[in-house]
Amino acid sequence: MKSNYKRLGDYISPVNIRNTQQKVERLLGINIDKFFMPSVANVVGTDLSNYKLVRKNQFACNRMHVGRDYRLPVALSRTDEEFMVSPAYDVFEVKDTNRLNPEYLMMWFSRKEFDRNAWFYTDGDVRGGLPWKSFEEMILPIPTIAKQKEIVKEYNVIKDRIALNQQLIKKLEETAQAIYKQWFVDFEFPDENGKPYKSNSGEMVDSELGEIPKGWEYTKLSKIINIKDGTHDSPNPVDKGYPLVTSKHLNPYDIALNETYNISEDDYYQINKRSKVDKFDILFSMIGTIGLVNYVLYDKIEFAIKNVALFKTSERKEIAEYILFYLKSDYMKLYLASNPNGSTQNYVTLGFLREMPILLPAKSVLLIFEDTSKKIIESIQLKVNENNILSKLKELLLSKLATVEVTV
C-alpha cells in the first residue's frame, strides 16, 4: 500500500514573505492541537519586519520541539486576513491545489499516526527538532482531487456539528451562570409572588460580608459539604489498569480519560479509600492552573484523582448545582486571588478550599434553582455526549485516510 504513497516535498513549497513594510499587526502562534491562536510572546520594542506572513490556504509549523512534545504543531490558515508568525516558524503552501487539497493535507497532519511518524524523523539534538528535509521526505496517500474534496466535506460536516454544539453548550452555561448571578449576587430571585426579590422591597439584613436576604447566612463551605483531595504521590504507570486523572484532564462536563496514564489496581483502590469519585461530585484543580471545575456526570466511574480537590456534592444532591456555579462564579475568582500560594499558578491547599465562605440561601430558593439549573445541565450533557460520539467519528475518518484509494 505505501508503495503508492507520495512524497510530501513534491507537493509543497516553502513561502518566505516577511513583514518588511510592517503593515500587518496581528501576531499568531500555533497551538499544539494544531490551530492558530493569539501569540503570548512579548513583542514590545521588537522589530516585526522580519516576521513571516501567512495568507489564506498557507500552512505554518514549528519543527523545533517535536521530539519533546511528540507532536508537530502545524496549522492551516482559513482566513482572508493575513497575519504574522514567528520568523522561527516555517510557512509553506501546496504547489498545485488541483492535485492536493490543502484541507485534505491538514486532515493528514491531524492524524495521531502522522505525529508518531514525525517524532520518528526527529534529529538527535537536545531540542528534538524535525529537519525540513525529513519533513519533505514524509509520505502520504493522495487520491483523486474529487475524492479528496469528498473526504474533506464529510470531515467538515462533523467538525461543524461539533463547533455548533460547543456554541450551544457555551450559551447554556452562560444562561445558568446569569441565573446564578441574578439570584445569588443581585438577590433578584423570585419572591413568593414570582417577582424579583430585592427590587420589590424584599427584606435585607446585615452580615459580615454585606447585606443579604433575611433568612440567609454565610458559612464555611466545609460545613455544608465534604471536601477531600486525591493522591499527591505519583503511582507507577502500567499498561492495563485504571486512569489517573489530574487537573490537565478536566473539562467542564467530561474528562479527557484518553490522555491519562493507567495505574495498578492496588494503587487505584488505595487512592479511592479516601477520595472515591461518584456521579454528581465536583472536581477542582489544585495545582498548575487552579480553579478548573468539572461536574462529574458519568454513570460508571473507574478512575482515581491526583492533585485534584473532590467536592462530595453527590452526598447533597439538592445543592450540587448551586455549589457548581458558586465555584464558577466571579466571587470564587476573587477568593482564589487571595490565595497566598498564587491565584492562577502554583497550588491551593485543602484547608484553603475548606475555609471558603459561601452564602447559604433559603431552602425554598435553592430547590427552585436546582430544578431550573438541572434542566440546563441535562441539555448540556446531551450536547457533550453527542460531541464525544462525533469526535470518535472524526478520529475514525482520520484513521481511514491511510486506506483511501490513491492515484497512480
pLDDT digits (tens, 9 = 90+) for 379-398: 999 999 999 999 999 999 99
Q: Of 141, 7, 116, 119, which Cα lies nearest the Cα of 63?
A: 119
Helix intervals (H) in 87-144? 102-109, 112-121, 132-137
313-329 confidence digits (pLDDT tens): 999 999 999 999 999 99
Query: What is the average pLDDT across 140-169?
Result: 96
Q: Do 399 and 350 meet the contact criterion of CB atoms below 8 Å apart?
A: no
CA–CA separation, 188 vs 206, rounded Å? 17
Q: Please give the CATH number for the structural domain made up of 217-360.
A: 3.90.220.20
Which grid coordinates are listed for 348? 491551593
pLDDT band at 65 (very low <50, low <70, confident <90, very high): confident
CA–CA separation, 230 vs 263, rounded Å? 14
Which grid coordinates are listed for 73? 504543531
pLDDT band at 43 (very low <50, low <70, confident <90, very high): confident
Sequence ranges of the chain with CATH classification 1.10.287: 149-197+363-401
Q: Which amino acid is at 71?
A: R
CA–CA separation, 141 vs 8, rounded Å? 10
pTM score of the predicted model:
0.84
149-197+363-401 under CATH 3.30.310, yes or no: no
Least confident of 156-165, 273-282, 343-352: 343-352
Question: Torsion-angle region of residue 22: left (phi > 0), alpha (psi -120 to 50) or beta?
Answer: left
The one-character DSSP state at 165 is: H
* In the predicted structure, residue 259 carries a pLDDT above the cut 70: yes
Q: Of 244, 173, 245, 11, which Cα lies nearest the Cα of 106?
A: 11
Rounded to a whole number of angstroms, the distance between the first and last alpha carbons of the chain is 12
31-42 confidence digits (pLDDT tens): 988 999 998 878
- Give the pLDDT confidence score for residue 123 in this predicted structure: 66
CA–CA separation, 348 vs 338, rounded Å? 10
Rg of the chain taking only CA atoms, in angstroms: 26
Sequence ranges of the chain with CATH classification 3.90.220.20: 2-142, 217-360
> Average pLDDT over the chain, rounded to whole?
91
CA–CA separation, 288 vs 295, rounded Å? 19
- Give the pLDDT confidence score for residue 2 in this predicted structure: 61
The sign one gets for the Cα dihedral 202, 204, 210, 215 is negative
* In the predicted structure, residue 144 carries a pLDDT above the cut 90: yes
Share above pLDDT 90 across residues of the chain, in percent, rounded to a whole number: 77
Q: Which amino acid is at 222?
A: S
pLDDT band at 285 (very low <50, low <70, confident <90, very high): very high
What superfamily does domain 2-142 belong to in CATH? DNA methylase specificity domains (3.90.220.20)
